[in-house]
Structure 1
Amino acid sequence: MLDKAHPDSAGGGRVDRSLRRLLKKPEVARNVLPLLEDPRRPRAVTDNAGQVLAGDPAAKSGPSTRISLGDDTLGFAWGDGSDDIARTFGALAAQDREIRALGRESLEKYREITMLYSLAEKIIGAPDPTRIANIVCEEALRFLRCDSAALLMLNPATNRLEIIANRGKSFHDRATRDVGDDVIGRILGTGMGEIVNELGAAAPLEATNALTSVVVAPLRTNEKTFGALVAGSEVQRHFNASDLQVLNAVAAHAAAAIEVDRLNRDLAETERKPPDLIYGVNEVPPLGTSLLLAAQHAFVAMLSLSYPVLIVLEAGGDRMTAASVVSMTLIGMGIGTLLQARIGPPLGSGLFAPHVPSSIYAIPAIQAMRLGGTGLLAGMIMTSGVFSLVFSRVLRRFRWLFPPELSGVIVLMVGLSLAQLAAPMFVGLSPGDAVSTRGEIAVALLTLGTIMVFTVAPVGRARLYAPAIGFVLGYGASAWLGLFDDQSFGMLGDLPLFGLHVTAWTLPRFDVALLLPFLVAALATNIKDAGFVISVQKTNDANWTRPDTRSLSAGIVATGLGNMAGGAIGGVATTVSASNVSLASATGATSRHLGLYVALMFFVMAMLPKFNAMMALVPIPVLGAGLVYFASHLISSGFSLIASRMLDARRNLVVGIPLLAGVGLIARPDLVAGAPDWVAIVASSPLALATLIALALNILLNAGVSNHASTGLRFDETLAEYVNRFVSRQGASWGARGEVVRRAAPAITDWCEELRQTLGSDSAALDLQFDDFRLTATIRDLDEHGGRAAAENETLGAIDRAARNISRRYGCGVKLNTVREIVFDFEH
């Protein structure tokens, strides 16, 4: 609509420059301005302040028409035909404003797309939901130019909102808050974003801050809202639909990334179960299967009950006392097994690790029985239990004292010690029997062959019952060939069917003279237990990288408590059973729920003396075949633990010398004949000797080894070889996993080559830092030429993309401190 009003009626205000910009356009200058230059008909165009922009100033004495756009006065047209001129310029101004608005909108869309693309790149490299939330809040704060941004997630367990990240002004003074009836509560219910430009009673927000305007977007996946992203301003502001659209897009990226992270974690947990396991540590086998598996383990554990009998008889005790000690030992075995499997940290490892009598305690236990009977034995075993509790705390604080290769040495020595017993038994030889018959060899071959066939045969879950099947066939073949001792079977009739056989209980006593041998035995036993707990952890986790020290320490606690309880009632010391750990691994059933059934069977067996005696009459060839089977798995597990870490010269000695000492004592037990008493105590068994030597060498040879190393790098043709040699050497000295070193070396090389190509650098400094959880590599560019700040700013984006590509390629964390310094973090 045209307005004939005089310019003076337009009123004051700022000068509108729309017409000035319009008249500078070539198309307008070429096609419209000539209409104003006719000298016979003076015409002019002025701005809203009356300044002539085009045409003849004399035209201002004639009629005028306002050039308007909506309610805005852009200027005036003067002279003849001012109506047409005003209409033309009004249309051109409207078109120009639409074009400029479209340009602004396109620019905003471009900024939004660029921001979302950058956000997606950053989120991909984020290691966890907290980092994702921090990145999202930073982008929301920057893009919307607001005062505060916070990401809140709903904890389904507590039904409270947790503030995962907050950038800018503080959103809330607490880390969690209730789901109230405010804006965030409504969004959690509706799943729809909201704009509140004036917070108040009608639109409250439960937050301790000074925000007056907010825009809130839901975190939503699979039709489920699990959080909210809040951006707000302390000064009242008009957030619009475009702001909400941007925040919704950012929140969608965050929700998808957090959900993917959760799914990856769930998948990783599932993939932790090795493919050859049938029942993992937390899986529950059916009742029938559990009972049959538990019976196998109870049978194998029975084979170790010869140790308490040996201790009592060697100390001059009678068979009635031996029977009482066996019954009490079975109860102690049940307590230890139950603590390990069913209780979990801090009183047990949370793993299936049955307890059996410990052979390492045999020599000091015989000494205690000879000096003070069952009372002194009970007191010293209880003392060793207290030592185990103390040792469990040391183990957590000084885990570097017990690296995986040391545990591997212990497991390997246990397997070799079993092999020493298994070899003569396999051919039917036993103390007092120096003649082997064809029948005994045939039974051993049948038993072992059956176990092997059912272990490797792809027939359902036959592997679970391979030892039981082999033992049953071995028993049957032994009976058919007449290998049982009729006199021993005749003694079964003299034993009661049910009852707890207990001789007179004696008050536990303590003798300081026996303290050293019992502490040595306890130390060796605890380190051995730690090795087997690590072995069980590795068996249950396909992605195993390092020992779980909490479970490890709790496993030692269970051993200590079990020995304190067992010793108090008159049993001998118990330890994690090598044979049972091997059996669980071989059968593919490591469920800790089996521990309950095995412990209950131990308690029942303690009250069945006739059954115990019958189970103890295992034919020697059958027992030998079973020990060969168990020893093979232990030897394999020991080698696997040793090979899980890189070894340098120091660690080769820590592994090699103890193994040589232990194997030498196995081959020549007379080596310590005539040695002082303290030597005889230390070398009471090959396992104890190897354990103590390995521990001492690990402390002595690794003392003073720094966990930090630095070197300079030259970017030439020898770079890759030098980096690989340096990182490998340091990794071996630290006992790092080879897989980590094989990723770290090429990642460092790739980054150095990127510096050379992008910044023209020719040298860098490399710092390596190692602990049991991570290997950190810091690379600093040493080229400090001046005048390159502009170039560095231009290439910062390329450097950042290269860093993230290396992070994805080699599976490591990355932190770009500056364009010249980067930190790679490899989880160990």
Structure 2
Amino acid sequence: MTDMTTDAMRDPNNTPPLATAIPLGLQHVLAMFASNVTPSIIVAGAAGLAFGGAEQVYLIQMAMLFAGIATLFQTVGVGPIGARLPIMQGTSFAFVGVLAGIAATQGLGVALTACLIGGIIHFALGSVIQHLRFLFPPLVTGLVILAIGLYLIPVAIKYAAGGAAPFQMEAESFGSLKHWSVALTVVVVALGLKFWTKGTISNAAILIGMIVSYILAYMLGMVSFDKVAGADWITSIHVMPYGFEFNLGAVVAVTLISVVSAIETVGDASATTKAGAGRDATDEEIAGATYADGLGTAVASVFGGLPNTSFSQNVGIVGMTGVMSRHVVTIGAIFLIICGLLPKIGAVIASMPLPVLGGGVIVMFGMVASAGLNVLTEVNMNRRNMIIIAISLAAGLGLNLVPTAVQYLPGVLKVLATSAVAPTALMAVVLNLVLPDEID
């Protein structure tokens, strides 16, 4: 194979031979595939859609299709849109808490309308993103990412034990040895492959672990392919499948997370150029990445897809291989689009038993939390910053754990207050701006 450290391979506009580019493109897809479809499964469950049903399959298809399309916005670009860097886009975990709450209480129509408007605002941030970065230093972004992971971990445990809703947790089989055996298979296989293999297998460790666990679940009689046989071969795409339902609170909630997502994308763009080319990202690249982020979210929401963002794990692939070619990631995007157009693939994913998904997201959500901790290692842990961390996490996670504490708040404001992420972000931003720096 071509030397991965040559100057040519560090050029975003370089086009490697197909024999090199196709495996590298697949590697990018494998590294993010499980993380990309999981948010749609969780939000679909919160909205009350039948597990494995046609509507859930549709949301999974849109996750794959528009992850590919949004990635093309980044790698190919149109005018100022797109960083034209090897940045892989995918469905964002950052929005899961807010969207699950909105979908459960207000419906998917309200949730996706908020995503559309939030995506448009996110797009507009591309012109001012450089001027907003001061609001989101590592202290704030680290706290937000940590809160996302900590909020989602209980969801992972519920799935691993065999259920996701209160009535499922009361079932006799909830927490059974069979469920935990399937879930822990994902964890054990993923850890083994991650630390004792290299390259593509190591990067796809979670996905491979879920496949092995899926096979075990099938052998234990936990898998039914009835709905796979009935799934269409080609996706029928629908415009605003759940209607247009405006709710100001939902829009504010999604927009707040969109700002955080935009800052995360700025970080990923900067990390990509550092890892692949040893330089800082230009203002044009950062603005283009933000434009693509917002456009991808807005377009996806029109057809029933959830918000997308840049995927940090794919930055690691760029650093590991030294391949900076955006065309490699473009090939990965094409694979995702093909998957998104084939409902049979979505039906197979939707037939996955909850414990298989649970085992995968235990690792994924734990990694989200640890990523937040990693960002916080850049922060000087003086008394001022520790107070900000303490109050922000206490408010965000505390209200999430005791939602009746704000039971008299109206509608989506209650959802926002109990989402863990939004209160943590708001507290962290405000306290970081208000508290004087000289507290030691």
TM-score tier by shorter-chain length is 0.7 to 0.9
Q: Partner residue of 2:421?
A: 687
Shift of 1:582: 4.2
CA distance in 2, matches of 1:479, 1:327: 23
Q: Quick check: 339-348 or 420-429, which moved more?
A: 339-348
Give the TM-score taking structure 1 as reference length.
0.44
Work out whether 1:676 is the aligned partner of 2:397: no
Q: Residue 658 of structure 1: which of 392, 395, 412 is its match?
A: 392
Cα shift readout 1:595-619 (whole Å, capped 9, x = no counterpart): 4244323322332222201112223
Contact persistence 1:662–1:687 (CA under 8 A): yes
Count of residue pairs the alignment pairs up: 415
Contact persistence 1:345–1:550 (CA under 8 A): no
Q: CA RMSD in A?
A: 4.0
Q: Partner residue of 1:304?
A: 39
Q: Partner residue of 1:361?
A: 99
Q: Equivalent residues in 2 for 1:86-125 (5 A)?
A: none
Q: Partner residue of 1:291?
A: 26
The structure-2 alpha-carbon separation of the partners of 1:573 and 1:599, relative to structure 1 and needing over 3 Å to count, comes to: same
Cα shift readout 1:463-520 (whole Å, capped 9, x = no counterpart): 2332233223222222223332x3xx22222222x22224576898574xx2343033
Contact persistence 1:408–1:638 (CA under 8 A): yes
CA distance in 1, matches of 2:254, 2:212: 38
Q: Residue 624 of structure 1: which of 358, 373, 387 is its match?
A: 358
**Secondary structure of 2:390's aligned partner:** helix
Q: Partner residue of 2:309?
A: 576
Q: Higher RCO, 1 or 2 (CA under 8 Å, sep at least 6)?
A: 2
Partner letter of residue 581 of structure 1? S
CA distance in 2, matches of 1:433, 1:367: 20
**Secondary structure of 2:91's aligned partner:** strand
Contact persistence 2:148–2:368 (CA under 8 A): yes
Shift of 1:686: 1.1
Give the TM-score taking structure 2 as reference length.
0.77
The structure-2 alpha-carbon separation of the partners of 1:637 and 1:599, relative to structure 1 and needing over 3 Å to count, comes to: same
Work out whether 1:332 is the aligned partner of 2:58: no
Contact persistence 2:56–2:350 (CA under 8 A): no
Q: Equivalent residues in 2 for 1:424-463 (5 A)?
A: 424-431=158-165, 432-434=168-170, 435-457=174-196, 462-463=201-202
Work out whether 1:521 is the aligned partner of 2:264: no
* Structure of larger gyration radius: 1
Q: Partner residue of 1:609?
A: 343
Q: Partner residue of 2:294?
A: 560
The structure-2 alpha-carbon separation of the partners of 1:483 and 1:312, relative to structure 1 and needing over 3 Å to count, comes to: closer
**Secondary structure of 2:308's aligned partner:** strand
CA distance in 2, matches of 1:593, 1:331: 18
CA distance in 1, matches of 2:424, 2:282: 24
Question: Identity over the aligned pairs, expressed in percent?
Answer: 20
CA distance in 2, matches of 1:504, 1:530: 29
Shift of 1:441: 2.2
Q: Residue 474 of structure 1: which of 189, 206, 213 is its match?
A: 213
Partner letter of residue 306 of structure 1? I
CA distance in 2, matches of 1:408, 1:695: 12
Q: Partner residue of 1:492?
A: 228
The structure-2 alpha-carbon separation of the partners of 1:474 and 1:562, relative to structure 1 and needing over 3 Å to count, comes to: same
Cα shift readout 1:500-557 (whole Å, capped 9, x = no counterpart): 224576898574xx23430331122331342354257447746999987654443332
Partner letter of residue 235 of structure 2? L
**Secondary structure of 1:355's aligned partner:** strand
Partner letter of residue 297 of structure 1? M
The structure-2 alpha-carbon separation of the partners of 1:554 and 1:417, relative to structure 1 and needing over 3 Å to count, comes to: farther
CA distance in 2, matches of 1:644, 1:403: 10
Shift of 1:366: 6.3
Q: Quick check: 470-479 or 425-434, which moved more?
A: 425-434
Q: Partner residue of 1:347?
A: 81
Structure having the larger proportion of residues in strand: 1
CA distance in 2, matches of 1:653, 1:552: 32
**Secondary structure of 2:23's aligned partner:** helix
Cα shift readout 1:56-115 (whole Å, capped 9, x = no counterpart): xxxxxxxxxxxxxxxxxxxxxxxxxxxxxxxxxxxxxxxxxxxxxxxxxxxxxxxxxxxx
**Secondary structure of 2:337's aligned partner:** helix
CA distance in 2, matches of 1:677, 1:334: 34
CA distance in 1, matches of 2:403, 2:317: 31
**Secondary structure of 2:204's aligned partner:** helix
CA distance in 2, matches of 1:305, 1:455: 25
Structure having the larger proportion of residues in helix: 2
| Uncovered stretches (5+) of structure 2, i.e. residues with no partner | none
